[in-house]
Amino acid sequence: MSYMDGFYQSVEQVGVVPVVVLDRSEDAVPLGKALAEGGLPAAEVTFRTAAAADSIRAIANECPDVLVGSGTVLNEEQARCAVDAGARFVVSPGYDLGVVRWCLSHQVPVIPAGVTPTEVTALVNEGVEVTKFFPAAQYGGLSTIRALASVFVGHRFMPTGGVNAENLKDYLADPAIIACGGTWMCKPAMIRAGEFDRICELSREAAAIVRG
């Protein structure tokens, strides 16, 4: 099995990839533990804050059961920084071919995003088999994903943006969807307030929907 296949399998198994915004790297380990205890052992730590790399390093070192990766990766420098810190995957809200090619040439699993047929075509032609679909709600959600999936046969999507406990089941029921991403179980305000029990509880609720 290739490194990408192994990664895709792990993503499908977890079902929901929590999108994490951390202001303080001290919160990273309690967060990683809360997500894992709730049944979502994954974290897409976004490069929207200066704490991203240190947070990834902390989770990678102290939560070995958590599939930790990086999100909001916009350029190659951030991709390198994330991987140096221990990120096991790279996710972007759109795509930059430099990032995609750097990841693929370093055997780093990458999920770039595309919402139009042209964008998905460009990514498929780079050898990418799964793309993020962001922001999912604003770009037509499940109905747009179904239309794209009917053309890009075998290609799969990770919708993020507006996914929540109410619509998760519908998204996951579609075979073109490998997993969903989202912040609803670990909103930045909950992390800032140290509400890790609540995060664990919301993760458990999401994990129960995944296991269906």
**Residues classed as catalytic:** 44, 132
- Judged by CB under 6 A, does residue 152 bind ligand 3PG? no
Closer to ligand 3PG by CB, 106 or 169: give it. Answer: 169
C-beta of 153: minimal distance to ligand 3PG in Å?
Answer: 26
DSSP one-letter code for 113: B
Does position 161 interact with ligand 3PG (CB under 6 A)? The reply is yes
2-21 residues in contact with ligand 3PG (CB under 6 A) are 19
CA dihedral 199, 57, 156, 127 (to 10 degrees): 170
3-state secondary structure of 193: coil
Pick between residue 141 and residue 182 the one whose CB is nearest to ligand 3PG.
182
Interacting span for ligand 3PG (CB under 6 A) from 33-41, 81-89, 115-123, 158-166: 158-166
Phi-psi label, residue 128: left if phi above 0, alpha if psi -120 to 50, beta otherwise: beta
Query: For 177, left (φ over 0), alpha (ψ -120 to 50), or beta?
Result: beta
- x-or-dash pattern for ligand 3PG, window 125-144, by CB under 6 A? ---------x----------
* E strands, the chain, in order: 16-20, 42-46, 67-71, 90-91, 110-111, 130-133, 156-159, 180-182
The C-alpha atoms of residue 32 and residue 97 are separated, in whole angstroms, by 30
Identify the DSSP state of 139. T
Stretch that binds ligand 3PG, among 52-60, 99-107, 141-149, 180-188 (CB under 6 A): 180-188
Residue from 184, 186, 190, 191 that binds ligand 3PG (CB under 6 A)? 184
The distance of closest approach from Cβ of residue 110 to ligand 3PG in the complex, given in angstroms and rounded to an integer, is 15
